[in-house]
Amino acid sequence: MKEDTHIKLVKKIEGSTSYNVENLISISHDRRGKLLPIVLNEHKNIYIEKNIVFNINDRELVADYVVNLESQDIRQISRTIERSWTEVCNGNNSSRLVFSFNFLSLESVLKKIRNALSFILSNSDFIWPIKYLFSIHDGILSLISFYNLNTDLVRPPKPLLNGKLKQAFKLLSNLPKINELSFELQKIDTSLVFSSLKSEIFTKYGLLDTAFIYKGTIHSEKEGSRNILSKIQRKNDLLFEDRIDVDAYNFYELVHPAYAKQCVFISSLISNLRKIENPLKCLDIGSGTGAPIMMMLELIPELCITAIEPSPIAFKHLKRNLQVDNRVTCVNIDYLKFNTKDKFPVIFSIGASHHLNTNFFFQKTYTLLAENGLFMVSDEFVSKYENTKERCKNLIIHHTGYMVDVMFSLNRCDKIPFEYLQLISWFQNEIPVARYYAYNNRISESINICKKLLSKSKSLNLSDNFIVDIIPYYRLQLLELEALCAGLDYEVEQKTYTDRFVRMAEATGFELYEHYRIFATDGNNINEAGTHVFCFRKKANI
């Protein structure tokens, strides 16, 4: 792009809205907003080199392409979109198309873009492994695309002797046509683990299935966080609930990508690598509100679990969710202060290691694990970093990877309170830009978007007293944003990367036995960001 080429604002279109472009037509007459169209001087459709920056009203904008909707027909627009998608498939981590227009109405703009996408998707016998999202950020309409990293089949640890585990991996590994899948899923039981797996599988097809979380399997009564916190004798330590809404976590974490899958993998490792005694004594580190324990007990009923959870609010939910199960003993204590004379043949931790000092986490576990015992960890890891700037960049890319995976559009028939319409609109328009900026090393801008979004989202009065399938996915995204911003501040969220994690384990006296990346948020390598499952053995004393 030539240096003297610039983009300028030409007018404001009244009566449009800032909601996701897929839903603009259906609600534009109900919500008032402003869209700032742009026109490119003396250019019809130009290619912008990667990381090119141009100014709009003294604000910098980064993009890869500008598409002039007034001078380009459907085929030309389609070719530009296809070119950007091919670049993403072949190696670019992201792509942003900015749409330029001056005199077109908003309805005409949306219709033209939709027709172009329809032309691409309906005239191909193949599937684009692309996640594309529309955004209206700072008044600029753009199409942002990312590579779909989670298209590989899931290969389980072998052999699998447990019938329920075989059924779980069958669902995860074989993704038939959606009509066949729907029929298959009708035959499975309605346990928590299979309901959550079903929801995750449907998510791959862009379908919503979250009704199971409202059925009371997980206790839905909210425990007043402020009341509990007010009774706690505070020390200098920051509590998990100071940064994360634990009540919402209890309710909505079930739709987190790979949430049930990690329980299936850990259960399969236990089943394959140990003789299943009855009972099989286990220790769970950082049990949270108890959903993973419930899933594992469904898969391996012989487990007898000591559940360690330091958070006072999470512990209240843990006790209530598992109050009728005598196979579980709940202990409200900091794991590093937990002491017992018992040695456990199996210790596991699901989603908790990054809340502790990781070195101390391994050292403490080594003292509690029996000789040749199994230690399994499932948790989130970011891509490798060597300084704070790289850590913040990788943290944003990691958390937004989960968010865009469950970023669904509203149906026109959805009747949702205005506060949730605002929440959905904000996340759909801001998160794709934050992820794109992080990929393009605009770290400060990306951090600013995330922190501003969290601040205004916290001002909303979000109720849990209704059932709409899309809502849990956006409440989950809000939880992810809380975790992201806490991680940026290095408070209660202290994620590392896989190589460093394994080195810390080996330095403590563990040897790595198995490693899987079961959900990817960045990169193609097994050691890059996402949800990982590790299985370690405690080395025998020589």
| CATH number, residue 277 | 3.40.50.150
Q: Is residue 156 part of a domain?
A: no
- Phi and psi at 506, nearest 5°, equal -65, -35
The angle subtended at Cα 339 by Cα 337 and Cα 342, nearest 5°, is: 155
Cα–Cα distance between 488 and 483 in angstroms, integer?
9
Tell whether 482 and 468 lie within a shared domain.
yes
The verdict on 193 and 266 lying in the same domain is: yes
Whole-angstrom distance, CA of residue 487 vs CA of residue 243:
10
Report CA-CA distances (Å) from 94 to 53, 91, 324, 392, 405.
16, 9, 48, 18, 14
pLDDT for the residue 211: 65
Contact 82, 52 (CB under 8 A): no
Q: CA angle, 293 as apex, 462 and 254 as ends, to 5°? A: 30
- The amino acid sitting at 31 is R
297 in the same domain as 263: yes
Q: Are residues 513 and 480 in the same domain?
A: no
Check whether residue 18 and residue 123 sit in a common domain: yes
Q: Residues with Cβ < 8 Å from 445, sequence gap 6 or more?
A: 60, 437
Q: What is the pLDDT of residue 18?
A: 36
Identify the CA nearest to 77 among candidates 65, 87, 89. 65
Could you list the residue range(s) of the whole structural domain that residue 448 is in?
388-488
pTM for the full predicted model: 0.86
Cα–Cα distance, 425 to 23 (Å, whole number): 10
**Residue written as token pair 């190696």:** 91
Task: Say if residue 318 is in the same domain as residue 189.
Answer: yes
Asked if residue 478 and residue 415 are part of one domain, the reply reads yes
Query: Which pair of structure tokens corresponds to residue 279?
Result: 């009972």
* Count of domains forming the chain: 3
Residue 136's pLDDT is 87
Closest by Cα among 363, 159, 113, 176 to 273: 159
Given 488, 503, 521, which residue is the final one in a domain? Answer: 488
Tell whether 2 is covered by a domain.
no
Considering the domain boundaries, does residue 52 fall inside one?
yes
3-class state of residue 438 by DSSP: helix
- 302 and 279 Cβ atoms separated by less than 8 Å: yes
Asked if residue 54 lies in contact with residue 136, where contact means CB atoms within 8 angstroms, the answer is no
- Same domain flag for 132 and 273: no
- Where does a domain end: 85, 115, 147? 147
Tell me: do 70 and 188 sit in the same domain. no
Paired strand residues for 381: 530
CA 405/CA 204 separation, integer angstroms: 8
Residue 45 is predicted with a pLDDT of 33
Q: Residue 123 falls within a domain, yes or no? A: yes
Is residue 45 within 8 A of residue 76, CB to CB? The reply is: yes
Task: Please indicate, yes or no, if residue 1 is contained in any of the structural domains.
Answer: no
Quick one: 193 and 335 in the same domain?
yes
304 and 228 within one domain: yes
* Domain-embedded: residue 157: no
- Asked if residue 153 belongs to a domain, the reply is no
Exposed, middle or buried by CB within 10 Å (0-12, 13-18, 19+), for 476? buried
CA–centroid distance for 418 within its chain: 24
pLDDT per residue, tens digit, the chain (542 aa), is 333 333 332 223 333 333 333 333 222 222 223 333 433 333 333 333 334 444 455 556 788 988 888 889 999 999 999 999 999 999 999 999 988 887 777 788 888 998 999 999 988 888 899 999 999 888 788 999 999 988 665 676 766 667 788 878 777 775 545 555 555 555 666 788 888 888 888 787 777 777 666 555 555 555 455 555 545 555 556 776 778 788 778 888 888 999 999 999 999 999 887 777 778 999 999 999 999 999 999 999 999 999 999 998 899 989 989 987 899 999 999 999 999 998 999 999 999 999 999 999 999 999 999 988 999 999 999 999 999 999 999 999 999 999 999 998 876 556 788 899 999 999 999 999 999 999 999 999 999 999 999 999 999 988 876 667 888 899 999 999 999 999 999 988 899 999 999 999 999 999 999 999 999 999 989 999 999 999 999 987 64
- The type of residue at 34 is K
Tokens matching residue 288: 């949270």
Tokens of 78: 């389609």
In this prediction, residue 410 carries a pLDDT of 76
- 20 and 93 both lie in a single domain: yes
**Residue 407: inside a domain:** yes
CA distance 308 to 318: 10
> Which long-range CB contacts under 8 A does 467-471 form with residues at least 24 apart?
467/211, 467/214, 468/414, 468/415, 468/416, 468/420, 469/208, 469/209, 469/210, 469/211, 470/208, 470/408, 470/410, 470/411, 470/414, 470/416, 470/424, 471/210, 471/416, 471/420
DSSP string spanning 306-334?
EEE---HHHHHHHHHHTTT-TTEEEE-S-
Asked which of 102, 123, 147 is the last residue of a domain, the reply is 147
